[in-house]
């Protein structure tokens, strides 16, 4: 736990006291940890996973919380109601410090509380320094665009794809070869944006996109805020009619819709 900023100022004995006072709570994706307007009867520390902070009147999350960050500290220390909903966006574990447990710590070891408040003050100072003049919508968006075969992507498909994804500020990763595959390029994008959609013109069964999806989920599992999605051709023989061919192949509209779903829009 010493890697978390909140615990760095505490001695080993103090960390043990705090941890013994906290209770672990596991959440599944979509489960609410905190309800806006509810009582601030505990403060939470994220162990692993990710949580979205949603506030009434806002269509998008106002923040995302990850390992080492506190949840509900404003209402807890101000002794006021919760200011927002906090929802798990993937399976998440937190440590909860209830108000009775906190009050017991205050009585038994006031130095620990002082260290906790000092750590909180530094955290608030750091977050305040990062506040932008105007709120910006999050841009955690990634699509891995994989060529499925030896032929280049059709120019019209590529243009429509990029136009559709530009509308939702997606990031496109377009490897030029499949073997060797530039894994570092793909992994860096996923770690930055926390989502991945793999598009290929081949069939889903035994397609190369399955290999890409497998590598991403194995190497970037803790960075993903949504399952890896695959967009492939229909699982039927290749048709000759132009209209059926369009229905058979992946279309930009399908990719853009998958991207919106990955962003929970």
The answer to which of 32-36, 68-72, 260-264 has the lowest mean pLDDT is 260-264
- Asked whether 205 and 235 are in contact (CB, 8 A), the reply is yes
Instruction: Kindly report the number of other CB atoms within 10 A of residue 259's CB atom.
Output: 23
CATH H superfamily, domain 5-129: Jelly Rolls (2.60.120.10)
Type and span of the H or E element at 92: strand 92-98
The fold of the 143-262 domain, in CATH, is Rossmann fold (3.40.50)
Let me know: does 142 contact 171? Beta carbons within 8 Å. Answer: yes
pTM of the model: 0.50
Domain boundaries, the chain: 5-129, 143-262
119-175 residue pLDDT tens:
667 666 666 665 545 444 444 444 555 554 555 666 766 676 666 666 556 777 877
- Alpha-carbon span 68 to 5, nearest angstrom: 7
Tokens describing residue 240: 């000759």
pLDDT tens figures, 10-66: 777 877 888 888 999 999 999 999 999 999 999 898 998 999 999 888 888 888 888
Tell me how far apart the alpha carbons of residues 158 and 147 are, in angstroms, rounded to a whole number: 11
């Amino acid at each position: 736990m010493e890697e978390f900023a909140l615990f760095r100022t505490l001695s080993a004995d103090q960390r043990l006291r705090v941890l013994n006072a906290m209770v672990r709570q596991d959440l599944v994706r979509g489960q609410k940890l905190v309800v806006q307007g509810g009582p601030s009867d505990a403060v939470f520390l994220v162990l692993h996973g990710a949580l979205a902070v949603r506030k009434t009147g806002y269509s998008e999350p106002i923040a995302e919380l990850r390992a080492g960050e506190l949840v509900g500290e404003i209402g807890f220390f101000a002794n006021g109601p919760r200011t927002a909903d906090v929802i798990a966006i993937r399976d998440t574990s937190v440590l909860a410090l209830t108000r009775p447990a906190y009050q017991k710590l205050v009585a038994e070891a006031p130095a620990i509380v002082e260290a906790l408040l000092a750590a909180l003050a530094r955290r608030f100072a750091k977050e305040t320094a990062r506040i932008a003049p105007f709120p910006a919508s999050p841009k955690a968006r990634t699509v891995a665009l994989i060529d499925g075969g030896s032929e280049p992507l059709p120019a019209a498909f590529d243009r429509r794809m990029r136009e559709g994804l530009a509308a939702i500020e997606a990031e496109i990763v377009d490897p030029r070869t499949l073997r060797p595959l530039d894994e570092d390029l793909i992994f860096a994008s996923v770690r930055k944006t926390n989502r991945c959609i793999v598009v290929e013109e081949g069939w889903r069964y035994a397609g190369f996109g399955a290999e890409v999806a497998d590598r991403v989920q194995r190497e970037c599992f803790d960075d993903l805020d949504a399952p890896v999605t695959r967009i492939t051709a229909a699982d039927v023989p290749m048709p000759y009619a132009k209209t059926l061919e369009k229905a058979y192949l992946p279309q930009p509209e399908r990719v853009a819709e998958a991207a919106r779903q990955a962003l929970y829009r």
